[in-house]
Amino acid sequence: MMKHLQKPAVQMMLLIVVISIAGVVFYFSRERGVVSANTPPATATKASGAKPAAGSANASSTSTIVAEERKVDLADKRVAQIGGNQVQPLVVQKRKPPAPTIITTSSTANNKPPKPPPFPKLVHITNTAPEPYKDEEPKLFAPRGLLIKAALVLTVDSSSLETPVLALVTEDVYWNQKLIVPAGTQVQAKAAQGRIRDRIEVKGAYTFIWADGREYNISCVALDHDREEDGTFGITDGSAGIRGQIVKNDQYAELKILMAEALQGVMNNSQSQFPSIYGNVPQNNSRNAALGGGGQAASAYSQLLTSQLEKDLDFVRVPAGTTFYIYTMAVFEPELASIAGLKQGGRDVSSWQLNQEAYQRATAQAVGAAQQAISVSEAARQAEEEKRAAERAARVSALLNGTASSTTAEGSNGSEASASSTVPTSSNP
């Protein structure tokens, strides 16, 4: 038997039989069981094959029941139930409002620190401290040691006065294929006092004035320009100072000085003398007086010629048109050129020096502003402390005055009570 059951064909037959039985059972159960809710009871009885009961109210001559149509509003709280003959009320419960939440403060909540208030939407933060100073390289410049060819416009003499030097740049000056100083630029300087051999020294601040009126100050030195006729340069080319010609006002000044000194010696030795305990002493006579006066006059004339020879008897003169070199002692920055030299303030300063001065001024202003803010905050703090101290003093004085008045009132009440106790009471007759 078990062998037959293990065959696939037998198993398939059994499965088909089981499925068929289940389908038949399901079909009959569906035909019998369900009756529509709108079907009258008599019809439902016939359909089910059952007989109505003898005492039932539905066993009347009328075999159908007409359903009563009635509109049930939501306010009537009624609805028809399917499967019954009666309409039973159905109460719709109202939605209860949510219970209010009660916030209970616990010890753990109190221990938490309160949250800080949020920052405002607009917060202005100012940094009074300036940024660290950084040197910036100039965009247009020429390095130190630049040779600029120029020619004198005015004749220069070596005198004790501050002789002005006026010249013009004769050739364009380029550096790194950029024009630094154009030809025709005016140059102004001052010659030093005195002379050194046949040279005039022009050293210090030079002012370059462009054709449009811009000025630029820089420290320079004048050098000699010695160009030979064959195009070569002389041995003194590039030496310090502008070479000129030595001019003498009196060509016989040295001879006059020598003759005056010799005349003084002859007159002094020609005087008659006599021996004494102090040595040889000139005799007191008219001849010696004349010789002594002539010797002193010759000595004064010799000293006068000597002083004139040192100062004005000879000097150096450099004629107009003399060419020379201008040797720059600092970095040449034509971008600093401005009308009236306002960028440099009329001084010989560079761009990084100006930037450093501006940084120092900004730092000083920032420090001053910080100190002012600190002083203002300190004054406000002191004023607040004084206000609080005054309020505390007022409260203390008010408390003291209240205590004194209550003490006085109690004392007066006690005195009145004692007085009333001492007054004798009269008895009724």
Written in H, E and C, the secondary structure of the chain is CHHHHCCHHHHHHHHHHHHHHHHHHHHHHHHHHCCCCCCCHHHHHHHHCCCCCCCCCCCCCCCCCCCCCCCCCHHHCECCCCCCCCCCECCCCCCCCCCCCCCCCCHHHHHCCCCCCCCCCCCCCCCCCCCCCCCCCCCCCECCCCEEEEEECCCEECCCCCCEEEEEECCCEEECCEEEECCCCEEEEECCCCCECCEECCEEEEEEECCCCEEEEEEEEEEECCECCCCCECCCCCCECEECEEEECCCCHHHHHHHHHHHHHHHHHCCCEEEECCEEEECCCHHHHHHHHHHHHHHHHHHHHHHHHHHCCEEEEECCCCEEEEEECCCECHHHCEECCCCCCCCCCCHHHHHHHHHHHHHHHHHHHHHHHHHHHHHHHHHHHHHHHHHHHHHHHHHHHHHHHHHHHHHHHHHHHHHHHHCCCCCCC
Domain C-terminal end among 285, 311, 337:
311
CATH code at position 178: 2.40.128.260
Cα gap 224→243, rounded to integer Å: 6
- Residue 243 and residue 161 share a domain: yes
Least confident interval from 7-11, 110-114, 173-177: 110-114
**Of 261 and 242, which is predicted with more confidence?**
242
The pLDDT value recorded for residue 114 is 72
341 pLDDT exceeds 60?
yes
25 pLDDT exceeds 80?
yes
- Spatial CA neighbour of 166 closest among 243, 237, 222: 222
- Residue 326 and residue 200 share a domain: yes
- Spatial CA neighbour of 366 closest among 129, 134, 132, 133: 129
For residue 418, CA distances in Å to 6, 131, 222, 230, 405 come to 130, 86, 118, 141, 20
Domain C-terminal end among 287, 311, 335:
311
**φ and ψ at 327, to 5 degrees?**
-95, 120
- Residue 170 and residue 285 share a domain: no
Least confident interval from 120-134, 300-314, 333-347, 357-371: 120-134
What is the average pLDDT score of the chain? 75
351 pLDDT exceeds 80?
yes
- Residue 334 and residue 307 share a domain: no
- Residue 167 and residue 256 share a domain: no
Q: Considering the entire predicted model, what is its pTM? A: 0.51
Least confident interval from 106-120, 222-236, 381-395: 106-120
Cα gap 265→280, rounded to integer Å: 16
- Residue 344 and residue 195 share a domain: yes
Show the tokens assigned to 233.
């340069």
**In which domain, by residue range, is 241 found?**
142-247+316-348
51 pLDDT exceeds 80?
no
Number of domains in the chain: 2
- Residue 217 and residue 201 share a domain: yes
- Residue 197 and residue 302 share a domain: no
- The confidence band for 94, taking pLDDT boundaries of 50, 70 and 90, is low
Least confident interval from 82-91, 287-296, 312-321: 82-91
